[in-house]
Structure 1
Amino acid sequence: MKTVKTVCPHDCPDTCSIVAQVEEGRVISTKGDPAHPFTRGALCAKVIRYSERIYSPDRLLYPLRRVGAKGEGRFERISWDEALDEIASRLKQTIQKHGSESVYCFEGSGNMGIIQMNAHSPFFHKLGASQGRGNLCSPAADVGWNYTIGAMLGSRPESVKQTDLFLVWGSNMASSNMHMLAFFKEAKKHGAQMIVIDPYKNRTAKQADWYIPIRPGTDAALALGMMHVLVEEGLINQAYIEKYTLGFPELSESLADYTPERVEQITGVPAEDVKRLARMYGQARAPFIRIGIGVSRSRRGGMSIRTISCLPGLVGAFHKTGGGALMFTSGAFPINMEAIYRTDLLPRETRILDNVRLGYNLMNQDVSPIKCLFVTGSNPVLSCPDAGMVRNGLLREDLFTVVHEQFMTDTVAYADIVLPATTSFESFDVFKSYGHTYLQKAEPVIPPLGEARSNYDLYTALGRRMGYTEDIFSKPIRDLVWDLFPSLQTNETLHDDFQQGKTIELFNIDDAFADGFPTPSGKLEFYSEQMKKDGYPPLPTYLEVDEEEGDLHLLTPPAHFTLNTSFGGVEALREKEGKPTLQVHPVDAAVRGIEEDGWIEVYNQRGSVQLWARLTDEIPPGTAVAEGVWWSRDTPDQKPINLLTSDRLTDMGWGSTLHDNRISIRKTQSKLPQE
């Protein structure tokens, strides 16, 4: 038996340090690292069972070639040499006939390590392939926050233990940010209160001192209503505003339109609650706002984040111990990302495609079509919006598709060549976090299962197969670390601590705003000249949008036990999650003849899926919630929830609008296949 430290690679702000127990080359158990200052010995319900994911019967262990029809999932085993030779040959033929922009790589966050997550970039830049912009996750949040604050920095997450008022705005922290929530519970022992603002009463909202339900997508209006009350009642820090902010006179004038009564009409939050919330915020000693990614996944997403992030500027919260706000901590990691991106390898400017619109990109024949598709770190058949169009695109006979994957997912079924990928326990990487400030190194815990290869091993090997001689295609992976983090070479103490696997910080986030904000003006910007130049309103505002047809607003947040599609290969976690469910208010169900829990049809103009209706008053009327993205085999009609979501883009950042869709519901008699 031996103990090995590693890191959780999944898309979660906590980026936990893991202590793995290994016996005879096999992972026996996983526990949280008690020595890590953020993990503090605790793991979530998913990662505590990580060995079951590593050894899942759904793991892919060998390269495969398709022998059946696309989507049928029939393959034959081949060698890595055969696979790489065929891929290289098809790439050369395709580029000669259709040009290099007919090649496109769809990447996801299947591995959050800095190297493995980005290892494909040099290869496709050198190839001259089409590039992608935006992603399914949070680009609108990045852009919106940066317009106000200037960089992806905020208050230290651990400092929430010193707050007296914690606003959790659109984040189910109990499921996806449990360690920061644990720090707040230390403040709660001293009388601090937690207010949760969310469209439904999730696990975190059930722990709140006050839960405020809000209509989806109207967050900016509520923030503006709070600002209206704060200014009107003098609950602002005028000295702080004059020293650290820009544009307060313009903001103050614009707030006249956002009376609590008007905000109630927009958000559904009673006017008296708007006033109470603003007063609690303005009178708090050190209020702290934790903003969730889900807020950004709508056509108003970027502006919503931009607007909420203005609130601390009115009360001086960023400079109060235990106060401020946090979106991401990504800016606390000074990284030379060009060392792994290698845009210098681009032979010329190439076309840019919206990653969120994969189905459209595959089906759009009006421009040069995609002829070779690579999928790495993602399961787009399930996770992409407008999933029906994605599937239709992957069925094209003239499309050559390569999927590098750990599991036999829905997307793998459409591949021509399947390549087995390592888990993070089987490869080297370096991890930053977007929810804390500690850099971590992860050495392999066990050898790769079967013939699995890491992203870095795959794309460097494929580069050599294509005849590329640049150093990035032969550099040992550990040497790349010094290119990414020059400070690890110049600081002997940091270098030694990193080499020894210790947790280190490269930037003191406590000093992030000591001398102002990293915006063009050096101040927190209520008024942003850059936004005006970019074609956006320069002041925070509530954007009106046209609603599509449908009776209910659909939300698709992560599931507690299976996250998105990442843990669908762990049977015990699927069982804990139960069945693919739509949570609906009893009133919304009753008017459609649905009087009790049971299977229903959920539909809109993009298609229909069958889900188990759970009638609950934890969902406000007019809203419906489907947590998680289930593998098709585990649904009654083999259809994913994202068949119903649109590939519309966010207002800024080219992100997904996965929380901005309308649906209708009706009865059905379907059952799961195993029932």
Structure 2
Amino acid sequence: MTQKKKSTVAFSPERRSILKLGALSCAAGAAGGSLLGLNHLFQPSEAQAFEVPALPEDPFIFTTCVNNCGNTCVLKAFVRNDKVIRVETDDSVEDDWENGVFQVRACPRGRSMRRHMYSPDRLKTPLKRIGKRGEGKFEPVSWDEALDIVAASLKHCVKNYGNASVYSHYASGVITGPMTRRENFWRLMNCLGGFSLGYSDYSSAQNQAGLRYLYGKAGYSGNAISDIAHTKLAVFFGANLSETRSSGGGLQYEILEAKKKGNTRIIIIDPRYTDTCVTVADEWIPIRPGTDAALASALAYVLITEEMIDREYLDTHCVGFDASTLPEDAPEHSSYSDYILGTGFDMVAKTPEWAAAISGVPAARIYKLAREIGQTKPCYIMQGWGIQRQAAGEMNVMAVAALANLTGNVGIRGGNNGDLDAYHQSKTPRLPVGNNGVKTRFPVFMWLKAVENGKNMTADQDGIIGGDRYPADIKFIWNYAGNTIINQHSEIAETERVLSDETKCEMIVVMDTHMTATAKWADIVLPSCMYPEQTDIVGPSYAMNTDWALLTEAVKPFFESRPVYDVCVDLARRLGVEKEFTEGRDREEWIEYLYQTGTRKTFPEMPATVAEARKAGVHFRAKSRDFPVPFADFRQDPVTHPLKTPSGKVELYSAALRTLSRKRKVDSSVLGDVIPFVPQYVATWDGCEDMQTKEKYPLQLIGFHYKGRTHSHYANVDWLLEVLPQTMWINPVDAERRGIRHNDPVRVFNDRGEVRIRAKVTPRIIPGVVAMGQGAWYKPLSADSKVDVGGCINTLTKYRPTAIGKANPQHTNLVQVDRI
């Protein structure tokens, strides 16, 4: 390895950007600790052995941080004796936002990579469970023994239950790099005839479902965030880009530059005064969680009654705004305007006064905001994904998007269709996976039901696609680079109940880098390499507005850690499909093949070989600031360029939702278990209007993406835990009523469990609402306890999929808080 000082664009003078957290204490006792004192975990004394100063002659390798924040930033890992001793980030170009090239600088998470690599929780060797499932008792075994067990279980499940009984679980710990991603196992299983795979995700399933009914497109469809440079007003419902897209190559930088260029006023509507409010907002409008559709409906009322709508656009591009564009078989008075004006099913006008009582936003501010939106052309209306992680999240999504249609801001420069800003196609090639013989799929959030009762899941009731009924119960779970089985899934106690029964799911295999909360529930644990320990091809991820490519290098793998591709080769050999899986290529040959057939097609100016590309370092390509405008063709000519809805138009009244409402059984005894056909506010269980539950649990609890980790990734890094400890946000009004002072220990509880955590008393959250950063590692007080001392919010969330998208409602919770 040699220190590189070349790039395919001009370098700036060398600048060091050392993580300032390095000056902090380097205590080794990270979250999770060593498991039962076994030697398969990395011990603190070993971690401290790498605390050595870097020297000028130390070489570095290029690597990346490829977890699921949407950014994928460049890292320079300085190496001595095959160990990473320091991490810096991209400094290879001068920032030039106008011309689409700028540094891909990592945030503190990526810069703390070395602490993550050598933390006490790092896995050394394969493990086999020796106690009850979930007890966390394991013994080290050889790779041969571990893979023999896995291969035998795969053969047994495929033979006895069918390919659909083998499930590759949703995980996003690695989101780019063909040789590092989860497609390796998919390719293996497709060589055997196929496997189960859920559709959609935990992040945006309600968004995808709601916009599919509205626009015929499953989300990710908004104008680029840079388009705010072309408007004077941008209104964000819940978006928190400064924390969720925080790197130099991500959307935090993009929005700051675009706002500056357009002199754009930004209004943010959120229960919390987030870091995005601090950094870019001109005004914060607090709102109660789950009530965005009520606010949007009241804004629509003002827009309609004060004649600030784009009537020509509504008549030519939309279905169901009023009776004149309703389908012939639609019920009388079922249009969107009927609901808003109070001539619909509930006969209640959705006035600002009506919405103020529900949302907590003053009526006067609702009138003013509606006029600001209606009088600004174009107006950029956007929503983050927090508003859709509610028990009726699809309605929040559709109600906000309806505002963009009322005002005619869809398909134009500087406007938006109400969705999150558009994602940008990754330039990283993918390992070909082949043909999956299992065509039937379930909503990914429903995987636990697929374990317990998969064969009784149907299309009408459970959202099955590709068939009328699911063909199998899940008997084998492969979990690679993810912590969603336990930590990130709703209602941990319910998940544990199902997985404790080994007659249901017979084998859980976890391949990961650390002993996570999910790994403790595995039958077999396989230690995986981290990114600096394996070579690959990487490029920008979905939330980056610049083009670049990098061929990474690697240090020696940690102890017995192995890359997932190599592990799948060994499994393929045991299963008799090695030739089909490898096609005669080893890892480096696959990288060369994918580089030639994929990367160089995107970047034809790249060096001729992988070896030359590695020497060149990071390759940048300028990208235009004027990104394509989604739905522009439809806006120009809706007849020639129709949408993929049944009508070809925007469906403010959805006949498909009406059909679904007649097919799908809902529980009328549960507040909010309904399927409306027009965007509307729905009061739900554990929401602000669930008065019966609020008598016992009066506070709404929401989660948020925490800047100290990406979901649960980096949650055990000691530096980040010291600077960004896990706390519960609570307003001073609510804290005073409970005798709680800042940093007091508290118990947050409901019928599903209890979390013990420190209180952050702050006016940055509204009264009646508390919040915890999602992703902290679950750490039960004892093996049979429902009390968590790790700060994991899913101890308290409810496993009840939404009525429409069968998706996660993890921000819909009611709790009580007491001082300990």
Q: Which TM class, normalised by the smaller chain length?
A: 0.7 to 0.9
Alignment partner of 2:634: what SS?
A: coil
Distance 1:532 1:486 in 2: 46
Aligned equivalent of 2:276? 204
Whether the aligned pair in 1 keeps the contact of 2:72 and 2:540 (CA below 8 Å) is no
- Deviation of residue 393 (structure 1)? 3.8
Alignment partner of 1:230: what SS?
A: helix
Q: Does 1:412 align with 2:519?
A: yes
Whether the aligned pair in 2 keeps the contact of 1:402 and 1:418 (CA below 8 Å) is yes
Whether the aligned pair in 2 keeps the contact of 1:144 and 1:305 (CA below 8 Å) is yes
Q: Does 1:105 align with 2:168?
A: yes
Distance 1:174 1:75 in 2: 40
Aligned equivalent of 1:158? 226
- Give the one of 177, 188, 191 matched to 2:245: 177
Alignment partner of 2:228: what SS?
A: helix
Whether the aligned pair in 2 keeps the contact of 1:649 and 1:656 (CA below 8 Å) is yes
Aligned equivalent of 1:454? 563
Residues 56, 376 of structure 1: alpha-carbon distance in 2 compared, 3 angstrom cutoff: same
Q: Does 1:642 align with 2:802?
A: no
- Deviation of residue 276 (structure 1)? 1.1
Distance 1:163 1:416 in 2: 55
Residues 606, 224 of structure 1: alpha-carbon distance in 2 compared, 3 angstrom cutoff: same
1:131-280 equivalent positions in 2, closer than 5 A: 131-151=197-217, 152-178=220-246, 179-189=250-260, 191-207=263-279, 208-242=281-315, 244-249=317-322, 250-256=335-341, 257-280=349-372
Whether the aligned pair in 1 keeps the contact of 2:550 and 2:619 (CA below 8 Å) is no
- Give the one of 91, 104, 108 matched to 1:45: 108
Amino acid at match of 1:12: C
Distance 1:276 1:155 in 2: 25
Residues 45, 162 of structure 1: alpha-carbon distance in 2 compared, 3 angstrom cutoff: farther
Q: Does 1:613 align with 2:678?
A: no
Alignment partner of 1:617: what SS?
A: coil
Q: Does 1:422 align with 2:515?
A: no
Taking only the aligned residue pairs, the percentage that are identical comes to: 27
Distance 1:525 1:438 in 2: 34
Runs of 5+ in structure 1 lacking a partner?
669-675
Return 652-661 or 245-254, whichever deviates more. 245-254
Residues 551, 511 of structure 1: alpha-carbon distance in 2 compared, 3 angstrom cutoff: closer
Amino acid at match of 1:664: Q
Whether the aligned pair in 1 keeps the contact of 2:201 and 2:444 (CA below 8 Å) is yes
Aligned equivalent of 1:82? 145
Larger radius of gyration between Structure 1 and Structure 2: 2
Distance 1:304 1:5 in 2: 42
- Deviation of residue 114 (structure 1)? 6.5
Alignment partner of 1:458: what SS?
A: helix
Whether the aligned pair in 2 keeps the contact of 1:153 and 1:332 (CA below 8 Å) is no
Whether the aligned pair in 2 keeps the contact of 1:303 and 1:540 (CA below 8 Å) is yes
Distance 2:206 2:499 in 1: 27
Residues 454, 393 of structure 1: alpha-carbon distance in 2 compared, 3 angstrom cutoff: farther
Distance 1:516 1:495 in 2: 36
Whether the aligned pair in 1 keeps the contact of 2:320 and 2:652 (CA below 8 Å) is yes
Amino acid at match of 1:142: Q
Deviation track 1:390-426 (CA, whole Å, cap 9, x = no partner) reads 2344444553321100112122223222111222332
Deviation track 1:509-549 (CA, whole Å, cap 9, x = no partner) reads 41533311643355444344444444454432222323362
Amino acid at match of 2:445: V
TM-score normalised by L of structure 2: 0.72
Whether the aligned pair in 2 keeps the contact of 1:236 and 1:282 (CA below 8 Å) is yes
Distance 1:53 1:566 in 2: 9
Q: Does 1:297 align with 2:404?
A: no
Amino acid at match of 2:420: M
Residues 128, 186 of structure 1: alpha-carbon distance in 2 compared, 3 angstrom cutoff: closer
Aligned equivalent of 1:375? 479
Distance 2:299 2:314 in 1: 16
Whether the aligned pair in 2 keeps the contact of 1:359 and 1:386 (CA below 8 Å) is no
**CA RMSD, 1 decimal:** 3.6
Aligned equivalent of 1:569? 716
- Deviation of residue 241 (structure 1)? 4.2
Aligned equivalent of 1:653? 805
Whether the aligned pair in 1 keeps the contact of 2:177 and 2:428 (CA below 8 Å) is no
Residues 330, 597 of structure 1: alpha-carbon distance in 2 compared, 3 angstrom cutoff: closer
Alignment partner of 1:383: what SS?
A: coil
1:10-21 equivalent positions in 2, closer than 5 A: 10-13=67-70, 15-21=71-77
Residues 509, 653 of structure 1: alpha-carbon distance in 2 compared, 3 angstrom cutoff: farther
Amino acid at match of 2:361: V
Distance 1:47 1:589 in 2: 35
Residues 369, 234 of structure 1: alpha-carbon distance in 2 compared, 3 angstrom cutoff: closer
Distance 2:544 2:658 in 1: 32
Return 121-130 or 387-396, whichever deviates more. 121-130
- Deviation of residue 18 (structure 1)? 0.9
- Deviation of residue 52 (structure 1)? 2.3
- Give the one of 105, 119, 133 matched to 1:56: 119
- Deviation of residue 221 (structure 1)? 1.8
Alignment partner of 2:494: what SS?
A: helix
Alignment partner of 1:18: what SS?
A: strand
Amino acid at match of 1:650: T
Deviation track 1:109-136 (CA, whole Å, cap 9, x = no partner) reads 1111264133332334535544434432
Whether the aligned pair in 1 keeps the contact of 2:592 and 2:609 (CA below 8 Å) is no
- Give the one of 519, 537, 540 matched to 2:644: 519
Deviation track 1:299-353 (CA, whole Å, cap 9, x = no partner) reads 211221122123223333345443325525347469998x7454x342x556x55
Aligned equivalent of 2:22? none
Residues 265, 561 of structure 1: alpha-carbon distance in 2 compared, 3 angstrom cutoff: same
Aligned equivalent of 1:671? none
Amino acid at match of 1:376: Y
Runs of 5+ in structure 2 lacking a partner?
5-60, 323-334, 342-348, 457-471, 636-642, 662-674, 782-787
Alignment partner of 2:543: what SS?
A: coil
Give the total of aligned pairs.
662
Distance 2:513 2:623 in 1: 32
- Deviation of residue 212 (structure 1)? 0.8
Whether the aligned pair in 2 keeps the contact of 1:105 and 1:375 (CA below 8 Å) is yes
Amino acid at match of 1:515: D
